[in-house]
């Protein structure tokens, strides 16, 4: 990867085309500039005038937002080696890239955003027809809001036969549309129908799972269900994102487009973050609602902290993440007991994990070791994923899979795609799951998933 201090994008394009002619192959370019402060939701909406392929990521801390428009390049892979294949494709793309970035801020320059299916062996099908097993995009334009400043990255894959002036003019025209477009349309969706998919069959699946756990086939299993909505008109995804950011503090807000469908969510669960080799992961398992009063909220929190079922479920996650992180890191630090992690509708048991990533490992190596955690699959890992594939009443697709981003410096972050919905114009599928152990009650688990559906349902016009 060649870094250049060229002051104008035209010079970067010219240099890249010279290299493309010399090598006889396409060259990727990335140009970063500091711009006036930009509203990410307006930028996301303006992206429709340039390319319908859009992506959105906001960190749980709320101080870091990226909006991607278009696709300068994409990384696809499938099967059990998908994480290694994506890493290899990414390394190849970086090798001869020409990059101008005098700022060095995280999330600028060459950045890939996207995600992975929960289970690469799950048969493809509805409603996930338009989402590949593994799919990450390097946007043509990337807005990054970080440290109170806005940066715009322009990316392009240049071919030897391309003309520098034509490429430069096209980038300039599209930048103008993105940065100076009209304000977007923000409108709360109006629901026509809401249908729970096979709720009685799902409860029966929970009952049978408890019997299988008692029989020693599994220690724990996570089973999810689906709620399908229809609307009076196409959903404005930018409205959904803005509403999620306003209502779901302490959550990662994300959206990824594929062939006109959008996978959108507000997940509280970080899988792993790497920042200059510093690794942070999260054990988040065990759930109870928030209370209507401070006193009730405190009582519910104490109940969760002292509940054997939830503490057991949480400890499964802690031990699995400990083993995965210790396999590729040093100086691993994990507190002895969890604390409460409050959200608007729910509170969870939370244990942070900190470590230093060993040389030779990348963020995707860690994602591969961690996914799926017992909070999303079960225990043992391989057997639980096979059980879900056979018994669960829905096609998970990207639900509960890793979604996130990484940059050219091997920094990045992935979260677990829960509290999410697949939006398809006037239709949406919402997903929520629960951890099942030997003494789980099907009705109680059903009610827990109903609470977990509320964050997405509320921003899609429900109550």
What residues are labeled active site? 220, 269
Element spanning 305, H or E = helix 294-305
CA distance to 29, 175, 188, per residue, from 179 (Å): 21, 6, 24
Between helix 237-247 and helix 442-459 the angle, nearest 10°, is 120
Full DSSP string of 390-404 = HH-SS--TTTTSEEE
Going 60 to 63 to 69 to 72, the CA torsion angle's sign is: negative
Return the bridge partners of 18, or none: none
**Integer Cα distance of 74 and 409 in angstroms:** 18
Element spanning 98, H or E = strand 98-100
Contact (Cβ atoms closer than 8 angstroms) between residue 418 and residue 346: no
58 is written with which tokens? 């906001």
Give the list of residues 6+ apart from residue 81 with CB closer than 8 angstroms, or none.
none
Contact (Cβ atoms closer than 8 angstroms) between residue 393 and residue 203: no
Q: How many CB atoms lie within 10 A of CB 154?
A: 23
**Integer Cα distance of 282 and 435 in angstroms:** 17
Contact (Cβ atoms closer than 8 angstroms) between residue 83 and residue 361: no
Going 339 to 264 to 63 to 73, the CA torsion angle's sign is: positive
Angle formed at CA 249 by CA 244 and CA 252, multiple of 5 degrees: 70
CA distance to 144, 358, 438, 447, per residue, from 204 (Å): 46, 45, 14, 14
């Amino acid at each position: 990867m060649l870094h250049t201090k060229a002051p104008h994008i035209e010079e970067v394009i010219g240099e890249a085309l010279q290299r493309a002619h010399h090598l006889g192959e396409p060259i990727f370019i990335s140009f970063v500039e500091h711009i006036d402060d930009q509203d990410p939701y307006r930028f996301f909406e303006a992206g429709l005038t340039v390319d319908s392929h859009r992506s959105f990521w906001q960190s749980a801390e709320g101080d870091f937002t990226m909006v991607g428009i278009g696709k300068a390049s994409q990384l696809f892979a499938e099967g059990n080696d998908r994480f290694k294949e994506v890493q290899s494709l990414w390394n190849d793309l970086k090798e001869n890239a020409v990059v101008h970035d005098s700022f060095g801020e995280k999330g600028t320059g060459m950045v890939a955003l996207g995600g992975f299916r929960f289970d690469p062996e799950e048969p493809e099908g509805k409603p996930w027809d338009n989402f590949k097993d593994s799919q990450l995009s390097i946007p043509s334009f990337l807005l990054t809001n970080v440290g109170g400043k806005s940066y715009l990255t322009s990316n392009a894959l240049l071919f030897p036969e391309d003309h520098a002036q034509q490429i430069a003019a096209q980038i300039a025209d599209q930048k103008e549309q993105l940065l100076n477009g009209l304000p977007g349309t923000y409108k709360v969706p109006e629901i026509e129908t809401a249908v729970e998919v096979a709720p009685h069959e799902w409860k029966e699946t929970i009952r049978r799972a408890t019997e299988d756990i008692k029989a020693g086939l599994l220690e724990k299993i996570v089973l999810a269900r689906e709620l399908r909505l229809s609307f009076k008109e196409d959903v404005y995804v930018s409205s959904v994102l803005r509403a999620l950011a306003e209502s779901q503090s302490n959550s990662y807000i994300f959206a990824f487009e594929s062939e006109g469908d959008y996978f959108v969510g507000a997940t509280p669960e970080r899988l792993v973050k790497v920042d200059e080799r510093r690794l942070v992961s999260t054990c988040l398992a065990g759930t109870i609602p928030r209370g209507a009063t401070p006193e009730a909220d405190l009582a519910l929190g104490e109940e969760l902290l002292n509940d054997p079922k939830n503490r057991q479920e949480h400890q499964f996650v802690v031990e699995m993440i400990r083993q995965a992180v210790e396999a590729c890191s040093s100086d691993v630090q994990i507190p002895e007991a969890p604390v409460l992690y409050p959200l608007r509708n729910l509170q969870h048991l939370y244990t942070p994990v900190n470590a230093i990533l060993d040389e030779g490992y990348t963020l995707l190596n860690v994602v591969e070791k961690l996914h799926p955690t017992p909070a999303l699959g079960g225990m043992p890992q391989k057997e639980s994923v096979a059980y879900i594939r056979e018994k669960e009443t829905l096609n998970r697709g990207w639900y509960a899979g890793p979604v996130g981003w990484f940059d050219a410096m091997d920094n990045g972050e992935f979260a677990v795609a829960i509290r999410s919905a697949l939006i398809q114009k006037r239709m949406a599928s919402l997903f929520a799951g629960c951890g099942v152990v030997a003494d789980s009650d099907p009705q109680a688990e059903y009610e827990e998933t109903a609470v977990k559906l509320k964050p997405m349902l509320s921003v899609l016009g429900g109550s």
